[in-house]
Amino acid sequence: MTVEQQWLLDETPWPEQATLAYGELVELTTPHPPVPSLGWLGPEIVGSRGVVVGCVIKQDERDGHVGPIYSVETEDGSPWGLRPEFLIPRGRLQPDMPPRYRSDLPDGTRVRIRTESDSPSETTEAVGEVAGIWWTTSLEPPKGYIVQVGDHEYCVTPEQAEVL
């Protein structure tokens, strides 16, 4: 019987500088008046709706500003990392927002992975390091790990990874 992976809750405090909350519904926009050093979103993107799934405080290399960069997942599943100037809060939270998760294996953990090829009889093994969590959408629990092997990254389920 396969045991389902139990992902750990990410209890990292939400950044104090953040003005948007985890799970907050937002609309993507271009700042008005425009800020040429920050660029703009194209007309096909402006108006897209999404949900805030993460926030980090860091320096924006474009203009040196230090502040929140929000991870947003739009309705079509596209991931975005945007400053608050590019987001219009819609004043409510996503009702079925899952908790924030973190990996049970820290980045850099050495693992042996098993990957399957097109032929069921051929299984390949490789050794690499955990480089993050594999998500298909931030609105669901993680699917597995991102493992760096040389110059390549592989997305593997917990059953395909063995800690060394």
pLDDT digits (tens, 9 = 90+) for 75-106: 888 889 999 999 999 988 887 777 888 888 88
For 32-151, list the strands marked E by DSSP: 49-59, 66-74, 79-82, 87-93, 101-102, 110-116, 123-134, 144-149
Report, as an integer, the average pLDDT of 23-39.
Answer: 89
pLDDT of residue 111: 92
Side chain identity at residue 160, one-letter code: Q
Query: Comparing 62-66, 67-71, 132-136, 159-163, which segment has the lowest mean pLDDT?
Result: 132-136
Q: How many residues does the chain have?
A: 164
Q: For residue 122, what pLDDT band results from cuts at 50, 70 and 90?
A: low
Q: Is the Cβ–Cβ distance between 86 and 30 less than 8 Å?
A: yes
- C-alpha–C-alpha distance, residues 145 and 113, integer Å: 10
For residue 54, the SS3 value is: strand
Beta bridge partners of 140: none
pLDDT of residue 3: 40
Give residue 45's Cα distance to chain centre: 19
pLDDT of residue 66: 93
